[in-house]
Amino acid sequence: MLNPKGAPGDPYDNVAADFRNPFVTAFYVICMLVIGLHIRHGAWSALQTLGHSNARRQPAISVFAAVLAVVLIAGFLAVPFGVVTGVVH
């Protein structure tokens, strides 16, 4: 159990309490960064597989895949960074 003092039925306080632990936050951030790399590669690869890639489009596809990964991961990192910075109590 990650948070043995967690209150059943109170997900807001449980998540905030979990991310106050620096080890939990660090592990979560590292995992999200790795998942971001995976998403970037997956988006790039999917567009290649679907035939949307050629020499002219390749830079745009790479940028699209990177932006997609950054936007998704930034959304998932907003919660722990909000807790760490005190925006979320």
Of the two residues 28 and 5, the one the predictor is more confident about is: 28
Q: Is residue 60 part of a domain?
A: yes
Domain assignment of residue 4, yes or no: no
pLDDT top residue among 32 and 11: 32
* Euclidean distance between CA atoms 37 and 65, whole angstroms: 10
Residue 18 included in any domain: no
pTM of the model: 0.85
Residue 5 identity: K
Residue 5 neighbours by CB under 8 Å, 6+ apart: 17
For residue 4, pLDDT beyond 80: no
- Which whole number is the average pLDDT over 63-80? 97
Say which residue the tokens 């890639």 belong to.
53
Residue 68 maps to a domain: yes
Q: How does the average pLDDT of the chain come out, rounded?
A: 92
Domain presence at residue 5: no
Residue 17, domain member (yes or no): no
The tally of domains found in the chain comes to: 1
Instruction: Give me the domain span that covers residue 28.
Output: 23-83
Q: Considering the domain boundaries, does residue 69 fall inside one?
A: yes
**Pairwise CA distance, residues 24 & 39, whole Å:** 22
